[in-house]
Amino acid sequence: MQKYGLIGDPISHSKSPAIQNAALQACQIKGEYRLLNTPGEELAQIVARLRADNVQGFNVTTPFKQAIIPFLAGLDQSAAQIQAVNTVKNVAGKWIGYSTDGAGFWQSITVTPGMQVALLGAGGAVKAIISARPANVELVVFNHVSPHFTQHKVELQQLFGIELQPLPALTPKLGALDMLINATSVGLTDDLSILTQAEVAQLPAKAVVVDLIYRTQETLLMTYARQTGHQVIGGLPMLVNQGALSFEIWQQQVTPIASMTAALAD
């Protein structure tokens, strides 16, 4: 039986087992994908156990997307650029790291030539999305000014030639956007919104609001966007598409995305 899993902490809320096991079943692959809760101090032991168990591959989530790298024998181009890994494959006994977050995001939305996109945040998800952005997308990035703002600004400039701007600079640009993406943690464990309702209302009617957070109840930002008549996309489409790319890396075959999506409704 093939063995796959997810390491991270916390991960009890993750829907990855549902979608990955649905894909395995749809492809008639004898295998299992399970959660592997990994307290930070146990990362080395968990990785050693995965190797001993001859696990074929695993996903990586917070807080180990960078910490996993020293345990790997190599990285694909995307993971090497952003120095973050969310997918690991056992290749002839060696762990190889990949990043499917960025490509998974862009596959989860409709891209139109020249679209104007505002990306909020400066963490790993932001870097992944920037690294995989289509050439015909105009992307601007904003974040709260914090003690780490300058560091994030230098990183984005060096990696991508993109200037990180303070969040207040977004307000005068709202009226020209085709899409707004929240890649911050605001709204993950609270009832706050990265933008006020009045700011969301300044977006053009055609603008799409994407919140990468996925949870049982929609975030306040998503509520504001619905109330102002905007199309809203949550974090599940990205989850499915990045998971589909992980499946393709592991299995070298097309992923049954319909089966993965249907599993979320169960």
CATH code of the domain covering residue 194: 3.40.50.720
Domains: count for the chain: 2
Query: 95 and 117: one domain?
Result: no
Query: 245 and 226: one domain?
Result: no
Query: 154 and 191: one domain?
Result: yes
DSSP β-ladder status, 231-233 and 74-75:
unpaired
pLDDT at residue 37, as a whole number = 85
Query: 107 and 230: one domain?
Result: yes
Query: 226 and 255: one domain?
Result: no
Query: 175 and 70: one domain?
Result: no
Residue 86 near residue 72 (C-beta atoms within 8 A): no
CATH number (domain holding residue 32) = 3.40.50.10860
* Parent domain of 230: 103-234
65 is catalytic: yes
pLDDT at residue 12, as a whole number = 87
Q: Give whole-number Cα distances, 117 to 113, 143, 179, in Å.
A: 11, 14, 5
From the annotation, which residues make up the binding site? 14-16, 61, 86, 101, 121-125, 212, 214, 235, 242
Query: 90 and 142: one domain?
Result: no
Residue 215 near residue 243 (C-beta atoms within 8 A): no
Query: 189 and 247: one domain?
Result: no
pLDDT at residue 68, as a whole number = 97
DSSP β-ladder status, 31-37 and 2-8:
parallel
Query: 42 and 114: one domain?
Result: no
Query: 163 and 78: one domain?
Result: no
Q: What is the pTM of this model?
A: 0.93
Q: Which entry of 65, 89, 127, 153 is annotated as an active-site residue? A: 65
What is the C-alpha to C-alpha distance for residues 177 and 180, in angstroms, rounded to an integer?
7
Query: 42 and 117: one domain?
Result: no
Tokens of 67: 């910490």
From the annotation, which residues make up the binding site for shikimate? 14-16, 61, 86, 101, 214, 242
Q: Please give the backbone phi and psi of residue 33, each rounded to the nearest 5 degrees, phi first.
A: -120, 125
Q: What is the dihedral of CA 243, 248, 250, 252, to 10 degrees?
A: 170
- Weakly modelled stretches of the chain, pLDDT under 50: none
Query: 185 and 246: one domain?
Result: no
Give the count of beta carbons closer than 10 Å to the beta carbon of residue 13. 9
